[in-house]
Amino acid sequence: MEVDRAAYDHPPKLGIRCLAFQTSTDEQRHDIHYRDRNMLDMVQEVGPDAATAIVEAYKAGKLPMLKVSLRPSAVPEAEAYLSEAPRHRQTIAERQRLKRALSDPSVLTESDLENYRLLDSVFFALKGKGEGTLVLAGITVTKSLAGYSSNSGKTTGWRVSFSWTGSDGRGRLIERVPPEASNRRNDPERNWGLYE
Same domain, 41 and 89: yes
Domain that residue 45 falls in: 2-100
**Residue 136: how many other CB atoms lie within 10 Å:** 23
- Share of residues in the chain with pLDDT > 70 (%): 81
The whole-angstrom separation of Cα 132 and Cα 129 is: 9
Cα atoms found within 13 Å of the Cα of residue 76, Cβ hemisphere only: 0
Q: Are residues 28 and 92 in the same domain?
A: yes
- Considering the domain architecture, whether residues 28 and 76 belong to the same structural domain is answered as yes
150 and 94 inside one domain: no
32-46, 82-96, 99-113, 175-189: segment of lowest average pLDDT: 32-46
> 12 and 60: one domain?
yes
Q: Which of these three, 81, 100, 119, is where a domain ends?
A: 100
Mean local confidence (pLDDT), 108-124: 94
| 23 plus 72 within the same structural domain | yes
For residues 94 and 127, state if they share a domain.
no
Mean pLDDT over residues 111-140, rounded? 94
Residues 35 and 113 occupy one common structural domain: no
Residues ≥6 apart with Cβ < 8 Å to 165? 139, 140, 171, 172
By CB atoms closer than 10 A (0-12, 13-18, 19+), residue 106 is exposed
User: Would the pLDDT of 131 be above 90?
Assistant: yes
Give the pLDDT confidence of 10-64 residue by residue, as tens digits.
344 445 455 444 555 777 777 777 776 666 777 778 888 888 888 888 888 777 7
Q: How many domains does the chain have?
A: 2
73 in the same domain as 21: yes
- Nearest CA to 133 out of 109, 111, 157, 165 is that of 165
**Domain finish residue from 58, 78, 100:** 100
Using the 3D structure, point to which of 56, 83, 100 is the last residue of a domain: 100
- Indicate the residue type of 88: H
Q: Same domain for 96 and 15?
A: yes
Backbone φ and ψ for 136, nearest 5 degrees, come out as: -120, 130
Instruction: Say which amino acid occupies 28.
Output: Q
Q: Are residues 112 and 171 in the same domain?
A: yes
List residues bridging with 169 in a β-sheet: none
- CA–CA dist 100, 94 (Å, integer): 10
Residue 152 has pLDDT above 60, yes or no: yes
* Whether residue 82 sits in one domain with residue 13: yes
Give the E-state strand segments of the chain in sequence order: 2-4, 32-34, 43-46, 132-136, 139-149, 156-165, 171-176
This prediction has a pTM of 0.69
